[in-house]
């Protein structure tokens, strides 16, 4: 029986262990450009089997927060090149999380001050972060406009171009498609956010169409073996809800099974919150079984609130990878600490979002 510390293959990616650094928004990329401090931060954590970057916008339209990085301009790609070089130098593997926030944005962040885009013109009851007079402020998201069907091929193409740039120019080992947490692709999936009456709304097949088109476009460009995807069947994050998530995700996972992906990354329960939601039951074991039954060979990555005991149990129950979020903020050498049963540093919430080295690159490793 493998343990967390044994190597594993995830598509084309050979990973030294099964411990993954989860994607974590840190808002330390002014003008959306990755910095040398970010290279230091990620390379400090390179002993993880896999690093997943913070969510990274594929276009300015896909931006929803101040000081989160992008992957669509030359300076952004150059910044990421330095990050991937530092991680590889330290012996790590790193994929970039491809992000389009959809309606979780603000007119101040959008091209020409326009409305954010969404499957339907329904405002998310959630906040975003802007910088005003040099200080971060939480503001309501703006009312979005519904995307015209004619705009969707352009969005698919933008994802594909970002994936190509990620591996060919920025030096990433692969990409993770952000299909979770109430952002654009999840907005299309979930019944509360998608009230379209065209081929991209209504039935399960229609609501899953954009996510699957994006995934096929990316695997066609860079190969399934370098592509992972993140899903959150029942998270309430960013005000999404689906009336019947089990058959929705059963369909999604069976279609994904045909694409030879590197991994499937599942957020169990409420992102960063309870793993079980009494009003939103979901059978994750059935989801995984459906994936395998449909021929899916990708690594199965679990996420949300894992500690060592829960992670060990998950690996025994057949998970291939376990993602750690907050623990990775505070413990650059998390793999060693878990292996040695050493105590963990406590993350400081006050420095999660924005700022500089404090609470970012200054958490101590074991001597």
CB–CB of 312/274 below 8 Å?
Answer: no
Supply the minimum distance, in Å, between the C-beta of residue 27 and ligand PHB: 8
Q: For residue 238, give the DSSP letter.
A: G
Nearer of residues 105 and 181 to ligand PHB, judged by Cβ: 181
Strands 135-140 and 263-267: what pairing? unpaired
Nearer of residues 223 and 228 to ligand PHB, judged by Cβ: 228
Nearer of residues 95 and 315 to ligand PHB, judged by Cβ: 95
Of 99, 27, 25, the C-alpha closest to 62 is 99
Supply the minimum distance, in Å, between the C-beta of residue 328 and ligand PHB: 15
Supply the minimum distance, in Å, between the C-beta of residue 334 and ligand PHB: 20
Helix (H, G, I), strand (E, B) or coil at 323: strand
263 noted as active-site residue = no
Nearer of residues 29 and 335 to ligand PHB, judged by Cβ: 29
Spot the catalytic one: 72, 159, 183, 363: 183
Nearer of residues 99 and 300 to ligand PHB, judged by Cβ: 99
Nearer of residues 25 and 120 to ligand PHB, judged by Cβ: 25
Largest CA distance in the chain: 60
Distance (Å, rounded) from C-alpha 30 to C-alpha 343?
Answer: 34
Give the Cα-Cα-Cα angle 170, 176, 181 (nearest 5 degrees). Answer: 130
Residue nearest ligand PHB, Cβ-based: 25
Of 253, 87, 79, the C-alpha closest to 174 is 87
Distance (Å, rounded) from C-alpha 288 to C-alpha 309?
Answer: 21
Name the β-bridge partners of 51.
21, 94
Supply the minimum distance, in Å, between the C-beta of residue 347 and ligand PHB: 15
Distance (Å, rounded) from C-alpha 22 to C-alpha 180?
Answer: 13
Supply the minimum distance, in Å, between the C-beta of residue 177 and ligand PHB: 12
Supply the minimum distance, in Å, between the C-beta of residue 197 and ligand PHB: 28
Distance (Å, rounded) from C-alpha 208 to C-alpha 188?
Answer: 7
Supply the minimum distance, in Å, between the C-beta of residue 56 and ligand PHB: 10
Backbone angles phi, psi at 322, to 5 degrees: -125, 125
Distance (Å, rounded) from C-alpha 2 to C-alpha 4?
Answer: 7
- CA end-to-end distance (rounded Å), the chain: 31
Distance (Å, rounded) from C-alpha 335 to C-alpha 252?
Answer: 32
CB–CB of 117/177 below 8 Å?
Answer: no
- Interaction site with ligand PHB (CB under 6 A): 25, 55, 65, 180-181, 271
Nearer of residues 118 and 257 to ligand PHB, judged by Cβ: 118
Active-site residues, by number, are: 183
């Amino acid at each position: 029986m493998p343990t967390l510390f044994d190597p594993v293959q995830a598509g084309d990616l050979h990973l030294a262990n099964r411990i993954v650094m989860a994607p974590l928004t840190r808002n330390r990329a002014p003008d959306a450009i990755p910095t040398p401090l970010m290279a230091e931060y990620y390379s400090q954590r390179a002993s993880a089997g896999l690093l997943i970057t913070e969510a990274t916008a594929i276009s300015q339209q896909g931006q929803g927060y101040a000081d989160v990085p992008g992957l669509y301009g030359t300076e952004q790609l150059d910044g990421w090149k330095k990050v991937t070089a530092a991680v590889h130098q330290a012996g790590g593997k790193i994929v970039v999380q491809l992000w389009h926030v959809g309606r979780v944005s603000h007119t101040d962040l959008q091209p020409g001050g326009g409305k954010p885009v969404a499957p339907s013109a329904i405002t998310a009851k959630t906040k975003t972060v802007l910088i005003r007079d040099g200080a971060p402020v939480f503001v309501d998201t703006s009312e979005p406009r519904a995307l015209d069907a004619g705009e969707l091929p352009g969005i698919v193409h933008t994802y594909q171009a970002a994936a190509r740039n990620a591996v060919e120019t920025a030096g990433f080992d692969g990409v993770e498609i952000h299909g979770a947490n109430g952002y654009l692709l999840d907005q299309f999936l979930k019944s509360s956010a998608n009230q379209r009456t065209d081929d991209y709304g209504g039935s399960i097949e229609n609501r899953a169409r954009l996510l699957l088109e994006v995934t096929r476009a990316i695997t066609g460009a860079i190969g399934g073996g370098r592509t992972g995807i993140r899903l959150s069947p029942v998270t309430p994050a960013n005000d999404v809800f689906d009336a019947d998530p089990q058959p929705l995700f059963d369909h999604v996972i069976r279609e994904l099974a045909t694409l030879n992906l590197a991994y499937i990354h599942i957020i169990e329960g409420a992102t960063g919150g309870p793993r079980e939601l009494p009003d939103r039951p979901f059978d994750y074991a059935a989801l995984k079984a459906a994936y395998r039954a449909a021929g899916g060979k990708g690594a199965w990555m679990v996420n949300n609130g894992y500690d060592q005991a829960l992670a060990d149990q998950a690996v025994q129950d057949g998970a291939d990878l376990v993602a750690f979020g907050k623990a990775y903020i505070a413990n650059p050498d998390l793999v060693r600490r878990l292996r040695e049963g050493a105590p963990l540093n406590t993350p400081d919430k006050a420095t999660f979002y924005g700022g500089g080295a404090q609470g970012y690159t200054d958490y101590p490793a074991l001597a």
